[in-house]
């Protein structure tokens, strides 16, 4: 893929009509103007009904500052948040939002309108440009390609640093999966990071795991069935193989979430929520590794994800 220059995107101001992709009986709706969000991923069934693999996104009254927990979006140029909305990069501080602001989540990709540069019946490529600012003193471009097939959907995300200096960078995907009557989950993880008393919910202590995490989730609860998950709604999982599965036994459906590049998978299951998030990510939440979490000038940093929808 060539990562060229395109017209800069503008901040989200209103809902727009989605781009519709379809292949076989699988359909996907993406809203470029709403942070390149996937609004629906559904399969049309022979009896005229349909099955939603993601929590449907309702766009009426959409507010990018209070984004609904639905659909799927890309996280860039970082995932999750930083303590105090700030971090140090090679000896100098970067503040991504006011220290008094609520935890600034998942970067700017979900808060901006993207531009469609190529589309077909089952394929769409979008791009985003973000100028350097006091919150992020690097200029970068992002590219998101979505390719649908009868068995699922492939996502390819790239960030290209257009500044002359190396840029800290992290990528991720944030799908929201419905719970319906209950879901059984398996998350491949070689370790998980736990929050500490003073880490404000961010990972601090590493715990080695001998087996995948397995748990059940339903509306308002998430229960361990094989590994000690604890009571926290979020688990930061380190993985050598990002290969995860959700099983909806009552509905006879199954979802597989894989990523070739992801080194971490965040599992988010709010205690009173109606959804479960399995988030392939390139870096550990709340920090950057100055050696590995880096985008050199004009060299793309990439992350892929596949959702098999059975």
pLDDT tens digits, one per residue of 65-78: 778 899 999 999 99
- What is the model's pLDDT at position 195? 84
- What is the model's pLDDT at position 233? 76
Distance between CA atoms of 55 and 33, rounded to whole angstroms? 19
- CATH number for 19-309 (one of 1.10.3210.10, 3.30.200.20, 2.70.98.10, 2.60.120.20): it is 2.70.98.10
- Cβ–Cβ under 8 Å, residues 238 and 203: no
Distance between CA atoms of 199 and 194, rounded to whole angstroms? 9
- What is the model's pLDDT at position 10? 43
Instruction: Give the distance, in angstroms, between the CA of residue 265 and the centroid of all CA atoms in the same chain.
Output: 10
- What is the model's pLDDT at position 113? 95
pLDDT tens digits, one per residue of 250-285: 999 999 999 999 999 999 988 777 899 999 999 999
- What is the model's pLDDT at position 17? 85
Residue 6 has pLDDT above 50, yes or no: no
| CA angle in degrees (0–180, nearest 5) for 168-130-142 | 70
- Show the tokens assigned to 102: 């609520």
pLDDT tens digits, one per residue of 146-196: 999 999 999 999 999 999 999 999 999 999 999 998 999 999 999 999 888
pTM attached to this predicted model? 0.92
Residue 135 has pLDDT above 50, yes or no: yes
- What is the model's pLDDT at position 232? 60
Residue with tokens 């009426």: 60
Residue 268 CB-half CA count within 13 A = 22
**Percent of the chain topping pLDDT 90:** 77
**Percent of the chain topping pLDDT 70:** 91
- What is the model's pLDDT at position 160? 98
Residue 138 has pLDDT above 70, yes or no: yes
Give residue 224's pLDDT band: very low, low, confident or very high (50, 70, 90): very low
Residue with tokens 């690097």: 138
Q: What does the longest C-alpha to C-alpha distance in the chain come to?
A: 61
């Amino acid at each position: 893929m060539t990562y060229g220059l395109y017209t800069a995107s503008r901040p989200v101001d209103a809902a727009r009509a989605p781009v519709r992709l379809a292949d076989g009986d699988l359909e996907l709706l993406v809203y470029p103007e709403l942070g390149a969000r996937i609004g629906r991923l559904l399969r049309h069934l022979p009896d005229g009904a349909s099955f939603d693999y993601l929590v449907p996104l309702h766009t009426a009254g959409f507010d990018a500052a209070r984004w609904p927990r639905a659909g799927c979006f890309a996280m860039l140029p970082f995932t999750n948040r930083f303590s105090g909305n700030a971090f140090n990069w090679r000896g100098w501080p970067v503040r991504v939002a006011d220290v008094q602001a609520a935890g600034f989540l998942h970067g700017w990709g979900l808060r901006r309108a993207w531009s469609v540069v190529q589309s077909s019946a089952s394929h769409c490529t979008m791009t985003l440009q973000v100028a350097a600012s006091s919150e992020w003193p690097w200029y970068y471009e992002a590219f998101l390609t979505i390719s649908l097939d009868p068995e699922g959907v492939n996502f390819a995300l790239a960030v290209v640093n257009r500044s002359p200096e190396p840029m800290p960078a992290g990528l991720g995907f944030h799908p929201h999966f419905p719970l319906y009557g209950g879901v059984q989950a398996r998350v491949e993880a070689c370790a998980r990071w736990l929050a500490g008393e003073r880490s404000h919910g961010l990972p601090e202590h590493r715990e080695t795991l001998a087996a995948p995490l397995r748990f059940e989730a339903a509306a308002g609860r998430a229960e361990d069935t094989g590994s000690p998950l604890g009571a926290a709604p979020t688990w930061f999982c380190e993985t050598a193989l990002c290969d995860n599965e959700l099983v909806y036994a009552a509905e006879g459906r199954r979802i597989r979430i894989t990523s070739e590049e992801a080194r971490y998978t965040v599992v988010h299951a709010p205690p009173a929520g109606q959804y479960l998030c399995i988030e392939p990510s390139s870096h550990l939440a709340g920090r950057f590794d100055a050696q590995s979490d880096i985008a050199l000038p004009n060299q793309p940093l990439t992350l892929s994800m596949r959702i098999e929808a059975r």
